[in-house]
Structure 1
Amino acid sequence: MTDRLVTPPVNMAVAIVDARTHARIDGTERDTEIELVVRSITEDAEHICGRAFISQTWRVTLDAFPDAIQLPMSPAASVLSVRYLDENGFDQALDPADYYLDKVSEPGYLIPASGRAWPATAAHANAVSVDVVCGFGADESFVPASIKGYILAKVAEHFLPTLPKSEYVIRSLDRWKVYR
């Protein structure tokens, strides 16, 4: 199984004005640098948590359909497509009525709909691909406060290296970790 980010998030997990304030930077001339730092810290935090904070599209690629397809990031929001190579090697799209997105479990799963089964696939590498949207929502207003707090604390540490670093900042992510 391979997971790959297809469409990265458009918006940031914290507002640029909040990041600028935590970095104690006046003016907008360093906003490009601040954005790069925020996005880098956010990606690291998402990796630590196994979560997507802002909506983004991931592709799961498998050699065949398993009983259940574990999704790469939580929370799972929607499935864009399920494609597979049929037994004759032709590319097919699975009808959404044929599968169920389990958004409650973390990590999320894609399973056959009630009374349905996964179709047979060609014996071929990467015969199945699933595109799924993951994330809390489209912008920072959907991101939980403790995650924002972590990102902003790390921004402050980055731009203010003499600021005492708290060994407890990382703990604000603990409740958001998804265990696989």
Structure 2
Amino acid sequence: MTPLALTPPAQEPVSLSEARLFLRLDQTAEDDLLGTLITAARLMVEAASGRLLVDQTWRIVIDRWPESGEIRLPLSPVGAITAARVYDVLGVAQPVAAEALQLDRAADPPVVRVVAEVPEIGRSRGAIEIDVVAGFGATAVAVPVLLRQAVLRLAGRWFERRGDVVGRDAEALPPEIMALIAPFRRARL
């Protein structure tokens, strides 16, 4: 199973104005840097938590339909399946009927169940593509406050300590950031 990012979030979970207020910045001269740090912090928080924050479109590529009829998605939370297709023996994409796949949003990780007839696959690799929208919602308001705080504090940390800790933070996030993320991390057995 391969997840491919198709479209990034339309907005970040923390705005430039929120970050400037947090950092007590009156000027906008460093907005480009701050915006980059916010994006980088979001990506780090998403990786550490195993959750996508603001809605973004992803494609899940699999080789064949599972015998169990259940596909456990590597992304969380997932709000909707937007499209699905199967490549036939000629390499032509055949659409999968919307009613053939059922998304269980409550499962963690989310599960797609095959509940009706689906087209036969025609190639051995990457035969099935399922497009999904993953994230807590379309706007920053939908993102849990603790995760927004983690992004804000991490971006602020990097802004204030420019270059001093980014390398170490990439290896292991600071404990105060991990404490904010901890309630959202998926348990690994």
**Same fold (TM > 0.5):** yes
Match of 1:69 in 2: 71
TM-score, structure 1 as length reference? 0.89
Between the aligned partners of 1:178 and 1:96, the Cα distance in structure 2 is 29
Are the aligned partners of 2:72 and 2:110 in contact in 1 as well (CA < 8 Å)?
A: yes
> After TM superposition, where is structure 1 displaced by more than 4 Å over at least 4 residues in a row?
none
Cα distance, 1:72 vs structure 2: 2.8
Match of 1:60 in 2: 60
**What percent of counterpart residues are identical?**
27
Q: How does 1:82-121 map to 2 (within 5 A)?
A: 82-86=84-88, 89-113=91-115, 116-121=116-121
Between the aligned partners of 1:16 and 1:89, the Cα distance in structure 2 is 45
Q: How does 1:26-37 map to 2 (within 5 A)?
A: 26-37=26-37
Equivalent residue of 1:101, what SS?
strand
Gaps of 5+ in 2: 166-173
Match of 1:168 among 147, 170, 176: 176
Cα distance change of structure 1 residues 71 and 90 upon mapping to structure 2, 3 Å threshold: same
Range that drifts further, 69-78 or 125-134: 69-78
Are the aligned partners of 1:61 and 1:130 in contact in 2 as well (CA < 8 Å)?
A: yes
Question: CA deviation digits over 1:112-147, x for unaligned, max 9?
Answer: 12xx25443123210000110001111111111111
Between the aligned partners of 1:160 and 1:90, the Cα distance in structure 2 is 52
Cα distance, 1:149 vs structure 2: 1.2
Q: Please tell me the residue identity of whatever aligns with 1:148.
A: R
TM-score, structure 2 as length reference? 0.85
Aligned length: 176
